[in-house]
Amino acid sequence: MKMDGAGEAVVRSGMILRAHNSNVMVTWLICLLALFAGTAVAQAGKVPSVSMAPVPLVTAQRTAQTVVNLNFRVARGFHVNSNAPKSEYLIPTALKMDVPTDIILGKIEYPDGQDLTFPFSPDEKLSVYSGDFTIAVAVHPLHAVVPGKYVMHGVLRYQACDNAQCFPPKSVPVSFEVKVVKEPPAHHVNPAQSPHAHN
């Protein structure tokens, strides 16, 4: 189809307009992505978190109790309530484990918290963990457990604060592997023979 000069001008204008709109859209998307990336980076430095160090393979003997140390680290600039916070409205740091059948979870030992005051509550001392802290867990495989490797799963629930405010509670997954081995054979002592046994 043959166009006159005016028609060609309209087509050229439409192509330029579409190209311009495409460039605007690309520029807008780039700006939007940059904004989201900047927001994510900014928030990443402000999000309170607790991380768990890897636990080496634990060897646990059947019918005996083995203590496992779980090492945690609170992000710099934050603290978490201890397991025994001084105020009822504060959520304690608490470990909950889900153990396999025939493996008993013994007592969980929490460290003592530090008593500190903060600007958001200057008249009240709070019991907190900051930096690194360790929770000890006792595992006790029963005699019925088949020797082998077992994975222990759980969660650590905590409430973190900085020097200005406290944040909603969060949880971090907890896991470690236990290699259950047989207990040593019982040592039988032969009873002493009577000196008159051969008379």
- How far is residue 95's CA from residue 174's CA, in Å, rounded to a whole number? 9
Element (H, E) at 6: helix 5-44
- How far is residue 173's CA from residue 52's CA, in Å, rounded to a whole number? 8
At 105-131, the pLDDT tens digits run: 999 999 999 998 887 777 888 899 999
- How far is residue 64's CA from residue 50's CA, in Å, rounded to a whole number? 31
Contact 58, 144 (CB under 8 A): no
Task: Tell me the two tokens of residue 57.
Answer: 């393979």
- How far is residue 158's CA from residue 167's CA, in Å, rounded to a whole number? 10
Residue 90 pLDDT grade (very low, low, confident, very high; cuts 50, 70, 90): confident
Supply the DSSP string of 157-188, one letter for each residue: EE-EE-SS-B---EEEEEEEEEEEEPPPPP-P
| pLDDT for res 156 | 98
| pLDDT for res 187 | 66
191 or 13: which carries more pLDDT confidence? 191
Contacts of residue 103, Cβ cutoff 8 Å, sequence gap at least 6: 139, 140, 141, 142, 145, 150, 152, 178, 180
| pLDDT for res 116 | 86
At 11-63, the pLDDT tens digits run: 454 444 444 444 434 333 333 333 333 333 334 456 778 999 999 999 999 99
- How far is residue 152's CA from residue 69's CA, in Å, rounded to a whole number? 13
